[in-house]
Amino acid sequence: MCEHEQKYCPRCKNAFECKVGSILLCQCSTVALSQEQRDYVAARYPDCLCAACLTEMKAEHHRSLFREKLNSISSLHFPKPE
């Protein structure tokens, strides 16, 4: 039987069980992330996050993309004075 690893989420510090040997049973598999979202998380945290933090990071990434789009649209209509 696979050994599972007790880890602490580097973001919230809560304990969780990492089941990398049984990835389909791991708590992280409940959060669907695109490759872009995975890259966003990996750029900020070098290790596994708990499912709650993955969900929050997914939302954070979505908000950052929204802000970028909003800024690019607003700069078309309201250019910064030079």
Q: What is the pLDDT of residues 36-46, one digit of tens each?
A: 999 999 999 99
**Is 15 within a domain?**
yes
Domain assignment of residue 82, yes or no: no
pTM, two decimals, is 0.78
Q: Quick check: is 28 in a domain?
A: yes
Cβ neighbors of 46 (< 8 A, separation 6 or more) are: 10
Domain contains 31: yes
Q: How far is CA 35 from the centre of its chain?
A: 10
Residue 58 lies in a domain: yes
- Nearest Cα to Cα of residue 27 among 2, 4, 60, 61: 4
pLDDT at 8 over 90: yes
Q: Per the structure, how many domains does the chain have?
A: 1
